[in-house]
Amino acid sequence: MVNRTCARGDRIIVSAFAVGRTQQLVLPLHQLANAGQIPSIPIFVDSPLTVNVTEVFRKRSECFNAETLQYLVDGQDPFGFSRLQYIREAIESKKLNDLHGPFIAISAAGIRRAINGARRHFEPGRVAHARRSGELMEWLKALAAHLKKVFPVHRRAGASAVLAGAIRSQYHN
């Protein structure tokens, strides 16, 4: 999909949640770029929250799988490479609107646009919610022993309460 879209000169906007999903997308893009399997185009992570979350991920290498750990062993950043730029400031984000030529932007804001019906390129299965019995609870398992408090946040209060209950039940807090 990246090669076809870039050949047309189009942009790729990927909607991804800040916690986990973006990091899961950055690593294969890193691998594809290193292998020369995608064009040499700029790749942006356009979300201040995602920048912060990625910094936390970098500090928690004990949670990495073997493939991700190998990047550290090789002296590389699994969540950073030469074509990847993390955008924290709104003014930098707005500059993407004026950028010409193909590029990839991974953006949590894209999810809001997708919900509101905007047309975007999506790869099935790449946008997903972390369900209480799924990825989020699995991700939390590796960190639970080191956490004092967890604050579930969701736009629907009921969903936050359900997740909080699942966390309390699983970790007896």
What is the pLDDT at residue 142? 65
What is the pLDDT at residue 12? 84
What is the pLDDT at residue 134? 64
What is the pLDDT at residue 153? 65
CATH number of 2-115: 1.10.10.10, 3.40.50.300, 2.40.30.30, 3.40.50.10890? 3.40.50.10890
Which are the contacts of 132, defined by CB distance < 8 A and separation ≥ 6? 162, 163, 166, 167
Res. 38: pLDDT tops 80: yes
Nearest in space to 12 (alpha carbons), one of 88, 148, 32: 32
Res. 91: pLDDT tops 80: yes
Parallel, antiparallel, or unpaired: how do β-strands 84-87 and 43-46 relate?
A: parallel
Question: What's the whole-number mean pLDDT along residues 73-86?
Answer: 85
Comma-separated ranges of CATH 3.40.50.10890 domains in the chain: 2-115
Res. 37: pLDDT tops 80: yes
Q: Give the pLDDT band of residue 36 (cuts 50, 70, 90).
A: very high
Contact 63, 142 (CB under 8 A): yes
Nearest in space to 151 (alpha carbons), one of 134, 136, 138: 136
Specify the range with the lowest mean pLDDT, choosing from 30-34, 35-39, 98-102, 147-151: 147-151
